[in-house]
Amino acid sequence: MPLSDDEQRILREIEHQLSADEKFASAVSSKGLYSHSAKRVWWSSLGMVACLVGIVATLQIHYLVAFGAFIGMLVFAMLIERQLRLIGRAGVQDLAQKIPKPRVNFPRD
């Protein structure tokens, strides 16, 4: 069923009001939707690296301390997996497009 002229006018007014609200627009943009989860993935990745360094450093001290760092690394890995599931395939592809691609200039013969 097509919308009446009044309904179309009301819909245009609502769209205009929503687009004027910058906070709302940034929250529902594709970057805003996934930015929180992407930040958590980033910090969890750093946590995994720190735990890996902790494992290597504490293996010389005591194996139980190194095991605790290993458990921490597993927790960070589970957090990363959970956040990537929350983002979903479309979100991961959207975030991957926003990552700047390095320019590589190969020498020509």
Q: State pLDDT tens for residues 68-106.
A: 999 999 999 999 999 888 887 767 676 677 777 777 777
Distance CA 15, CA 41 (A): 33
Query: Structural domain of residue 55, as residue ranges?
Result: 30-98
Classify residue 42: in a domain, yes or no: yes
Distance CA 44, CA 30 (A): 22
Q: Residue 75, Cα to own-chain centre: how many angstroms? A: 17
| Residue 64, pLDDT score | 94
Q: Into how many domains does the chain fold?
A: 1
Distance CA 79, CA 71 (A): 12
Classify residue 46: in a domain, yes or no: yes
Whether the model pTM is above 0.75: no
Classify residue 3: in a domain, yes or no: no
Classify residue 19: in a domain, yes or no: no
Distance CA 76, CA 82 (A): 10
